[in-house]
Amino acid sequence: MLITIADKKDIPALARLFDQYRAFYEQKPDINKSVEFLSSRLEKNDSIIFVARENAEILGFTNSTLAFHRWG
């Protein structure tokens, strides 16, 4: 298994998994909404999405959202 950082070319396969993730949390299936969300995260660089691959197939993912805090 190989863990990599997702990029734009991964969005179609990743969106299918993300749509299943949404369904788990009782959201209606909406592949377009999944594509929009993932595309926005990558374009704005406000998330790092790691994907687990086996033989070039994406089997899983985790989304690490970047948060900036101001101290003081």
| Residue spans per domain, the chain | 2-65
* 13-50 pLDDT tens trace: 999 999 999 999 999 999 999 999 999 999 998 899 99
More confident residue, 16 or 66: 16
Residue 55 has a pLDDT of: 92
Question: What topology does CATH give the domain 2-65?
Answer: Aminopeptidase (3.40.630)
Residue 65 has a pLDDT of: 86
pLDDT tier for residue 70 given thresholds of 50, 70 and 90: low
67: left (phi over 0), alpha (psi -120 to 50) or beta: beta
Residue 67 has a pLDDT of: 72
